């Protein structure tokens, strides 16, 4: 099993906690897919997609969150909201882009990514 995805998600989780986010759910799964992290930023519910790569051979990690992936995440978010009886002042979709290099790791948090 490839440990790159879980490693990136753990880095993203730690970053969000340092920024004061409350992690509500990790790896929310339905038959149509998965949302990596669902968190609360103040009164805003944030759905976070984490993309991790070892190099830029296929572009920056966040570039993999294309229109089809965004549509899937929106559908999953809608299902989560319908399933839970939670009240928030807003909903946001963020992407955390992680490049794990041989000498340093770069993490970019893109708020309101889509």
Residues 6+ apart with CB under 8 A from 80: 25, 28, 35, 38, 47
pLDDT per residue as tens digits for the range 49-80: 999 999 988 899 999 999 999 999 999 999 99
C-alpha distances (whole Å) from 64 to each of 3, 49, 87, 89, 94 are 18, 10, 31, 29, 13
81 touches 41 (CB < 8 A): no
pLDDT per residue as tens digits for the range 2-37: 678 899 999 999 999 999 999 999 999 999 999 999
Q: What is the pTM of this model?
A: 0.92
């Amino acid at each position: 099993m490839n440990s790159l995805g879980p490693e990136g998600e753990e880095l993203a989780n730690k970053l969000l906690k340092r920024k004061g986010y409350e992690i509500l759910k990790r790896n929310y799964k339905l038959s149509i897919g998965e949302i990596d992290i669902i968190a609360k930023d103040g009164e805003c519910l944030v759905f976070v997609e984490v993309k991790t790569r070892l190099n830029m051979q296929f572009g920056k990690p966040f570039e993999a969150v294309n229109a089809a992936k965004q549509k899937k995440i929106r559908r999953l978010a809608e299902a989560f909201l319908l399933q839970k009886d939670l009240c928030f002042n807003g909903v946001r979709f963020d992407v955390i882009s992680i490049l794990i290099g041989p000498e340093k790791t770069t993490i970019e948090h893109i708020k309101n990514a889509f």
